[in-house]
């Protein structure tokens, strides 16, 4: 696969680079608020994100609903399907 930054990567190289894109969930003991702390991207993952026009923030964010957080990939998939069907 050719990325927009003139870098060729195989599917396995892309997969291996993106496996490291993770976050840690930490609960504040005093307030019981749950926060997500994204890990800093590696060089290859950063290139992939940049070539796809994706932004990656390392700023902690509050998780307001654990159920929504766990179902985020389904939510993103469903919203993408809805936006595609609206275009028809």
24-33 LR contacts (CB < 8 Å, sep 24+): 25/63, 33/62
The whole-model pTM stands at: 0.62
Structural domain count of the chain: 1
User: What pLDDT does residue 12 have?
Assistant: 93
Separation between Cα atoms, residue 83 and residue 52, nearest integer Å: 19
Contact 34, 63 (CB under 8 A): yes
Residue 87 has pLDDT above 60, yes or no: no
Q: How many CB atoms lie within 10 A of CB 48?
A: 21
Q: Which domain holds residue 55?
A: 2-86
């Amino acid at each position: 696969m050719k990325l927009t930054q003139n870098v060729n990567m195989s599917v396995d190289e892309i997969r291996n680079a993106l496996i490291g894109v993770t976050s840690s969930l930490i609960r504040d003991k005093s307030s019981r608020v749950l926060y997500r702390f994204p890990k800093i991207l590696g060089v290859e993952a950063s290139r992939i994100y940049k070539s796809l026009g994706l932004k990656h923030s390392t700023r902690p964010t509050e998780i307001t609903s654990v159920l929504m957080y766990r179902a985020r990939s389904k939510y993103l998939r469903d919203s993408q399907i809805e936006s595609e069907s609206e275009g028809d």
